[in-house]
Amino acid sequence: MLRAYTLSLSLFSCVVCSMGHNGSEYSGTERMGVVATELYTTIAAGKRERGGLNFVFSPFSILSVFKMAQMGARGETRDEMDQHFPLSSPLDLPALRGPAAPWETEPPIQLETANRMYVESSLATDEHFLHFARQVFTRLKCEAMVADFEDSEAAAAAINAYVEEKTKGHIKRLVPASLLSSSTRMVLVNALYFKGPWAFPFSPDMTSVGSFCVEDGQTGCVQEQQVKFMQQQLERGFGYFEGEAMKVLSLPYADPRFCLYVFLPKDISHFEQQLLQKPDAAEELVRQVDNTVSSGSVLHLSIPLIKFVAEENQVDLAAVYRHLGVRLMFEAGKADFSGIARDKDLYVSSFLHQADFTWNEEGTEAAAASAM
C-alpha cells in the first residue's frame, strides 16, 4: 500500500549537506557533528541579536583552519583547543576516486578542498617552522607560500585570488587588506567547493510562487513573503522522519554516497535550546531518518529556491570561539603557538569565514572559505 507524505518547507528550516551514513561511520564523525551544532547555535544567537536569522556556514572549512593552528599550539592554548575539537578527531572529506556508476564517465559530484598558509619571509626560513610546515603538509595537505605582509594590498590580493580560484569564483574578498600589516606573521587559509546534482531533479516547469514564512530576528514576529517553490513527487531514494516537534528529510544526490538533510522544526527557538542542552541531538535525528525506508511511500515535496551570497554571509569567528570558551589563542602575550615559532609572540588576531549556498531544480552548489 502506498503511503503519501506532503512536506512543504515554508517555515523555518536548517539544511546540511553530508556524506550518506551507514551504521559504522558515526563514531568517527560524532565529535565533528557536536562541534558543528555548537558553532551553529552560537552563530545563530549572534545573528538574532543583530536582527538576522538566515545564514550558512561550513564547519569543515572552519575546523580545517582551526586544526592547522592547533597543530602548532602548546600548553593551555592547546588544552582549550583540544577541549573544543581534539586533534585526534578525524577531519576528512570522502575521496571521489571515480564515477558513482560504471556507465558514468566522471564523478557526478564535485567536492574539493584546499589548504594553504602564507608566511612572512623570516619565519619561512626558520627550521623550527619548517618542521611544523612539514607536519601540517603531511596531515592536512597544506602548502606554504611566502608573503610580504608589509605590502598589505598585494598580500590580500594574493590570498583572495587563491580563494577565488579554489571556490570557482564564489568567494572573492575573504581577507581585507586592512587586517594585514608588517606585524602579521602568517595567514592560514582553507577553501571548499561543492556541486552536486539531485538524483531526481526538479522540473522547472513545476516551480511556482508560494508563501514563505520567516521570523523577524528583532521582533520575533512571523512574516509572510512570496517566493518561488520547486515541486517534486518522490517515490524512492528519500528518507523521511516525523516526530512531535520535528520533520527531517534526506534528499539523495546523483552520487549515492551523498545526501542532503533538511530539518523542519515546529519551533526553531525550542530546537536551538534543545541543541544547546544536547549537542548530539541533530546526529540522532540523522540516524533516525537514515533508518527509514522510502519504499512504498510517496513524498509530495515543495521547497523554496534558496541562495546565500558569500559577502552577505560573513562570520567573525573570533567572537564565536571566545563565546565557546576558546580564548587564549586570541590573547597577545598569553597564546602559546611555540610549535610554530620558537618565540611565543604569535597569537590569532582575526578568524574570518564566508560561505555561499544555492539550491535549485538541478541541485546544490556551495562554497566556503576561512582564514586565520
189 in the same domain as 327: yes
Looking at residue 221, its pLDDT comes to 52
Note the pLDDT of residue 87: 87
Where residue 139 sits, what CATH number does that domain have?
Answer: 3.30.497.10
Residue 24 lies in a domain: yes
Residues of the chain falling short of pLDDT 70: 1-30, 51-53, 93-107, 214-222, 293-296
Instruction: Quote the pLDDT of residue 319.
Output: 95
* 303 and 366, same domain (yes or no): no
| Within a domain: 48 | no
Note whether 82 and 112 are same-domain residues: yes
Q: What is the pLDDT of residue 6?
A: 41
Whether 69 and 115 map to the same domain: the answer is yes
Q: Are residues 61 and 165 in the same domain?
A: yes
Total number of domains constituting the chain: 2
What is the predicted pLDDT for the residue at 339? 96
pLDDT the model gives residue 4: 42
Claim to verify: residue 268 and residue 360 sit in the same structural domain:
no
Q: Is residue 44 part of a domain?
A: no
Same structural domain for residues 121 and 264? Answer: no
Confidence at residue 230, expressed as pLDDT on a 0 to 100 scale? 92
Let me know whether 273 and 208 are in one domain: yes
Count CB-CB contacts under 10 A for residue 237: 17
Domain-ending residue, one of 261, 280, 307: 307
Tell me which residue range forms the domain holding 365: 55-197+308-371
Q: What is the pLDDT of residue 29?
A: 58
User: Residue 268 falls within a domain, yes or no?
Assistant: yes
Predicted pLDDT of residue 296: 64
The per-residue pLDDT for 9 is: 42
Query: What's the whole-model pTM score?
Result: 0.86
CATH of the domain at 235: 2.30.39.10
Q: Please indicate, yes or no, if residue 42 is contained in any of the structural domains.
A: no
How much is the pLDDT for 164?
Answer: 98
